[in-house]
Each structure stands twice: as structure tokens, then as C-alpha cells.
């Protein structure tokens, strides 16, 4: 029996061939589940201090050791996954929402609006993300919510550019012209006919961006501008470990591995998506 080839089945067929991306996808699912069910998965309370256990190396009871206050590092990492995933996902989502809308307007209407939006995104684009984020946090003050705002802002310009590019192309396509000719409103053409066509690029960039956002957010917390102690945030945990390098190496090693693997798997997953959605590959 011959299966019908839908766009999704073609995508799925190509995506399955990318073993690393499949593994990365499974890891991400496990990570999300861990974050959702953190209270059930974590062996200890992430805030419970016990000075008799201060800075113990990895043992069977505490597989990732304990920190200065005797808190279980594994439990803190598990709870930290909630923060990193939430910050990474929310900031990219907000950035995508605003960026996609602006890109759609920019490409669809052209003219003055297009010039304004694109020049603004050029200025934002020229600025390295972390500096922009620091400047925004300097205005808004430290804290996780402000980190989300800061990271969203620097995700916007790329989304706007991607969507503007595909909007320009789709605007000239036959089916959009057909829709216009039968009297579809501008709003309908923009959101029903053009928007879905731009989403492929958006989804790829969305996935790739989550990793970068997690790193940026963790960096800001490491610099003392994001999550504040005693919040179990990965970057903040690494900041706490700085004074004990050489004394308690595990405090530096484990939270870093958590960031590294999370970002790595999001990047591998994004790479796989890109290859699978690219019409040039077989």
C-alpha cells in the first residue's frame, strides 16, 4: 500500500534520519517532564540547608554533592531547570510574537513603516545581545522578569527579518494574488494566507534561539543581574561556586553541565529541524 505524502510525513521521514536530532528531541522531552514534575523527581528540598553537610563531594545520597549551605546540588539543578526552560521559552516566545508581527507588517505594507522597522532592527542587530540585555537590565533593575524582557528584545530583530523576507516573497505568489482578487481583506490575507507560509523559518529559528536565550539568561544571573540567591538558578549557582574553585570542584562542574547539555540538545534539535524542513535535502 502506498502512503500518501503529506508535508508532515516528508518532514518526519527526513527528521527520523537525523539520529542526533532524535536523541536531542527525546532529551528535551525528558527535561521538560523533569521540570514539570520537579517536586516529585528531586530527592531533596532545594532550599533545605544542613551545615554538617557543607560542600560534600558527590556521594550516593547526594549524586552531585552539596553546596556551601549543605543544600543538595542535584535537587537545585532539577528545580533550576524550571527557571531556565521557562525563561528561555518565554523570552523567545515574546520576541517571536512581536518580531513576527513587525516583520509581517514590514513586508506587507512596505514604505515608511518598513523602513522604520528595518532600520530599528538594524540598530538592535548591530548590538551584541548580551550588551543590549545588560543595558536593559540597567534601566529596569535586576531580576528574572527583567531578564526575560531583555532577552526578548534582542530576539525580535531576527524574527522580524525572517518573516519580512518570506512575506515579500509570498506577497507575489499566485495564491495570495488570487485571494486578494476575490476580495479577501488585508487582515485576512496577512494572517490567513501569508502568516502560515512564514512559520517554517520561524520554528527553526525559535528552536535555535532557545539555547542562546538560556545561555544569556544564565550569564546575566552569573553576573548578578538576573535570579538572586537563594533561587536555584544555574547561572547563579555557578556564581556562588566561584569562591570555592579548587576546594569544591563539583559545585562548578554540575550546574555547568546542566546548562551545556540543555543548550547543546536544543541546538542539535534545531539543526535537525532545519535540515528536515529544507526542501533541498533528501
Partner 1 sequence: MIKYFLKRCIAILPVLLVVSILAFAFVHLLPGDPARMMAGDDADAATIEMLRQELGLDKPLPMQYFTYMGKLAKGDLGMSLRTKIPVYDELRLRYTPTMYLAMAGMAWSVIIGVFFGAVAAIYNGKWQDYTAMLVSVSGISVPQFWLGLLAIQLFSVHLGWLPVAGYTGKFSELILPAFTLGATVAAIMARFTLSAFLDVLDEEYISTARAKGVTETLVMWKHAFRNALIPVITMVGLQFGFLLGGSVVVETVFAWPGLGRYMIEAVAVRDYPVLQALLLLYSFHFVFINLLVDMVYALINPEIRYE
Pick 30 or 199: Cβ nearer partner 1: 30
Q: Which residue has the cell 530576539?
A: 155
**What's the closest the beta carbon of residue 246 comes to partner 1, in angstroms?**
4
Pick 169 or 264: Cβ nearer partner 1: 264
Q: Which three cell numbers stand for residue 27?
A: 532529551
C-alpha–C-alpha distance, residues 81 and 63, integer Å: 17
C-alpha–C-alpha distance, residues 190 and 166, integer Å: 12
C-alpha–C-alpha distance, residues 115 and 36, integer Å: 43
Residues that bind partner 1 (CB under 8 A): 119, 122-123, 126-131, 134-135, 137-139, 211, 215, 218-219, 222-225, 235, 238, 241-242, 245-246, 249, 252-253, 255-256, 259-260, 263-264, 267-268, 271
Count of beta carbons in the 10 Å neighbourhood of residue 260: 12
C-beta of residue 214 within 8 angstroms of C-beta of residue 152: no
**What's the closest the beta carbon of residue 159 comes to partner 1, in angstroms?**
19
Pick 195 or 226: Cβ nearer partner 1: 226
**What's the closest the beta carbon of residue 239 comes to partner 1, in angstroms?**
8
**What's the closest the beta carbon of residue 33 comes to partner 1, in angstroms?**
21
**What's the closest the beta carbon of residue 1 comes to partner 1, in angstroms?**
34
Q: What is the DSSP letter of 69?
A: T
Pick 194 or 255: Cβ nearer partner 1: 255
Cβ neighbours for 21, distance < 8 A, ≥ 6 positions apart: 15, 268, 269, 271, 272, 273, 275, 276
Q: Which three cell numbers stand for residue 118?
A: 528595518
Pick 21 or 100: Cβ nearer partner 1: 21
Pick 158 or 241: Cβ nearer partner 1: 241
**What's the closest the beta carbon of residue 235 comes to partner 1, in angstroms?**
8
Amino acid at each position: 500500500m502506498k502512503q500518501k505524502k503529506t508535508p508532515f510525513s516528508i518532514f518526519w521521514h527526513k527528521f527520523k534520519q537525523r539520529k542526533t536530532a532524535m536523541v536531542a528531541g527525546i532529551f528535551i522531552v525528558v527535561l521538560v517532564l523533569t521540570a514539570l514534575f520537579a517536586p516529585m523527581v528531586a530527592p531533596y528540598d532545594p532550599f533545605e540547608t544542613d551545615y554538617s553537610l557543607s560542600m560534600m563531594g558527590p556521594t550516593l545520597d547526594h549524586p552531585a554533592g552539596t553546596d556551601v549551605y549543605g543544600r543538595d546540588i542535584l535537587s537545585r539543578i532539577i528545580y533550576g531547570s524550571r527557571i531556565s526552560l521557562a525563561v528561555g521559552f518565554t523570552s523567545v516566545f515574546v520576541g517571536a510574537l512581536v518580531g513576527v508581527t513587525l516583520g509581517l507588517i514590514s513586508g506587507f505594507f512596505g514604505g515608511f513603516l518598513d523602513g522604520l522597522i528595518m532600520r530599528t532592527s538594524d540598530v538592535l542587530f548591530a548590538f551584541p545581545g548580551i550588551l543590549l540585555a545588560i543595558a536593559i537590565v540597567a534601566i529596569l533593575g535586576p531580576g528574572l522578569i527583567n531578564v526575560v524582557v531583555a532577552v526578548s528584545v534582542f530576539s525580535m530583530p531576527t524574527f522580524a527579518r525572517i518573516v519580512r523576507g518570506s512575506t515579500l516573497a509570498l506577497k507575489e505568489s499566485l495564491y495570495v494574488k488570487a485571494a486578494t482578487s476575490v476580495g479577501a481583506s488585508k487582515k485576512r490575507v496577512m494572517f490567513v494566507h501569508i502568516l502560515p507560509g512564514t512559520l517554517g523559518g520561524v520554528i527553526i529559528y525559535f528552536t535555535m534561539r532557545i539555547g542562546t536565550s538560556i545561555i544569556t539568561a544564565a550569564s546575566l544571573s552569573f553576573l548578578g543581574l538576573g535570579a538572586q540567591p537563594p533561587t536555584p538558578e544555574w547561572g547563579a549557582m555557578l556564581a556562588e561556586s566561584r569562591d570555592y574553585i579548587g576546594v569544591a570542584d563539583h559545585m562548578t562542574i554540575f550546574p555547568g553541565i546542566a546548562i551545556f547539555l540543555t543548550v547543546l540538545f536544543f541546538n542539535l534539535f534545531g539543526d535537525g529541524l532545519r535540515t528536515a524542513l529544507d526542501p533541498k535535502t533528501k
